[in-house]
Amino acid sequence: NKPNIPKTPSKNTKKISMETPTKSMAKMCLTPSMHQRTVNIVKPSTPLQEARLKLHVSVLPKSLPCREEQFNDIYSFLHARLSDKSGGCIYISGVPGTGKTATVNEVIRCLKKSMDAGKLTNFEFIDINGMKLSEPRQAYVQIWKQLTGQKTTWEEAHKLLQERFSKSNSKRGMTLLLVDELDLLCTKRQDVVYNLLDWPTKTGAKLVVVTIANTMDLPERVLMGKVTSRLGLSRLTFPPYNYKQLEEIVASRLRGFNAFGGETIQLVARKVAAVSGDARRALDICRRATEIAENNDREIVSMIDVKRAVDEMIASPKIQAIKHCSEMERVFLQAVCSEVHRTGVEEVVFQNVYLQLGPLCTLNGEKTPNVTEALAMCARLGAWRLLLCEHSRLDVHQRLLLNVSTDDVQFAIKAVEV
């Protein structure tokens, strides 16, 4: 380092000269960085905290339990294609939280490992996510950016990619493209999906495309015939987890901690498996249970904590809302219910409801509110979405629809009275 030589002011100002925004844009070589935290994060101290850290959805486990079969399928497919140097597509579907993306990423990690070991030819890996693109055609930009690091417009990127994949180049290795959330790339023309799936069929492309979406019958339902034909028939469906698998997943993450007592995990697993079989949800409920246990100063998560967490997660706030309504609002809801009962039609008109409101108030020994008050009540209930109302300018002619079931209303009102 040179000693700091003082300079004349004129010289200094020249050096400092700030870059104009366009210049720094043009540079583009800077990697984006985030502001650093000033304080260090506290390391988890109690077993509950550690368990909570382990249970976070973002923590990738070393191995994915209960997905061995799918792993093998994808691995054999990709390995065969990469070692054959031929292109191809595979379509993977399954409801959210069944480990699709995690499994594919794990497969790719394994393939990369065997590539580093020299057992497999070099391949480039690119992933795009339909959700992260502002527009389907931005996919070209993303792909090109990941291939070369340059950023261009989509037209240009598309042209370059077209050139790259249609001309065969013996020096180039295989390219593996992972397209997550495929259904978001489907536009009316479907040109993006068509191109993504048409490149692998070209002789020189050496491109393998892995597509992931939720819908099982997306190719038949949304995609055009020619796109479906190119997508091919290599398909794989991830079934939802059953309770045993969910239990194993949670247990495998908690291996080594005894933060959860006895059957607690099983309860979570059974509750979640009965609804959706979403692993994310099971993990979230477990995390919530640790928080509840911590608040109650317990060492180990007990059945009560889990029960509370489950109730919170699968809660129904509407009955609570009805319970906390004002008395007159509850009467109004009752009036709507009785009007529905009277007419047998779900949609009721405000003036008829108002007619029902009178006797109900008299029965309760209260003064009947005037129309303006009733309308205000109606608007309030509509804002809470307990009622679905039409626009208030329609006045007494507006139609109302109960957004909760009549049973819920009766139940809540009875609960208040008792």
Q: Examine residue 273 and tell whether it contacts other proteins (CB under 8 A).
A: yes
- Residues 153 and 138 sit within 8 Å (Cβ to Cβ): no
CB 315 to other proteins: min, Å: 7
- Residues 229 and 193 sit within 8 Å (Cβ to Cβ): no
Q: Examine residue 314 and tell whether it contacts other proteins (CB under 8 A).
A: yes
Q: Tokens in use for 333?
A: 């809801």
Q: Tokens in use for 383?
A: 């804002």
CB 122 to other proteins: min, Å: 8
Strand-by-strand arrangement of the 235-238 sheet: 123-129, 174-180, 207-213, 88-94, 235-238
What gap in Å lies between CA 321 and CA 402, rounded to an integer?
A: 14
Tell the burial category of 130 from Cβ atoms under 10 Å away from its Cβ (0-12, 13-18, 19+): buried
Q: Examine residue 152 and tell whether it contacts other proteins (CB under 8 A).
A: no
Stretch binding other proteins (CB under 8 A), from 31-39, 60-68, 273-281, 326-334 = 273-281
Query: Looking at the DSSP assignment, which residues form a beta bridge with residue 400?
Result: 348, 389
Pattern 240-259, binding to other proteins, x per CB under 8 A?
Answer: xxx-----------------
Q: Examine residue 21 and tell whether it contacts other proteins (CB under 8 A).
A: no
CB 156 to other proteins: min, Å: 11
Question: HSE-up of 316 (CA within 13 Å, CB side)?
Answer: 11
Q: Which residues contact 265 (CB under 8 A, 6 or more apart)?
A: 247, 250, 251, 254, 286
Which of helix, strand or coil describes residue 31? coil
Stretch binding other proteins (CB under 8 A), from 154-162, 249-257, 299-307, 360-368 = 154-162
Cα dihedral 393, 396, 397, 402, rounded to 10, equals: 100
- Residues 146 and 152 sit within 8 Å (Cβ to Cβ): no
Q: Examine residue 229 and tell whether it contacts other proteins (CB under 8 A).
A: yes
In the set 25, 60, 274, 416, which binds other proteins (CB under 8 A)?
A: 274
User: In terms of Cα–Cα distance, which of 89, 277, 113 is closest to 199?
Assistant: 89
Within residues 51-70, the interface with other proteins by CB under 8 A covers: none
Within residues 340-359, the interface with other proteins by CB under 8 A covers: 346
In the set 25, 57, 60, 315, which binds other proteins (CB under 8 A)?
A: 315
Query: Looking at the DSSP assignment, which residues form a beta bridge with residue 127?
Result: 178
Stretch binding other proteins (CB under 8 A), from 25-33, 127-135, 217-225, 300-308 = 217-225
Nearer to other proteins, 278 or 305 (CB): 278
Within residues 183-202, the interface with other proteins by CB under 8 A covers: 189, 191, 194-195, 198, 201-202
Q: Examine residue 237 and tell whether it contacts other proteins (CB under 8 A).
A: yes
CB 397 to other proteins: min, Å: 19
Q: How many CB atoms are located within 10 Å of the residue 280 CB?
A: 14
Q: Examine residue 132 and tell whether it contacts other proteins (CB under 8 A).
A: no
In the set 275, 303, 355, 379, which binds other proteins (CB under 8 A)?
A: 275
Q: Which residues contact 9 (CB under 8 A, 6 or more apart)?
A: none
E strands in 222-342: 235-238
Within residues 399-418, the interface with other proteins by CB under 8 A covers: 401, 403-405, 407
Which of helix, strand or coil describes residue 402? strand
Stretch binding other proteins (CB under 8 A), from 86-94, 101-109, 324-332, 353-361 = 86-94
Sites of contact with other proteins (CB under 8 A): 72, 76-77, 80, 83-88, 93, 95-96, 118-121, 155, 158, 162, 189, 191, 194-195, 198, 201-203, 214-217, 221, 225-226, 228-230, 232-235, 237, 239-242, 271, 273-277, 314-318, 346, 388, 401, 403-405, 407
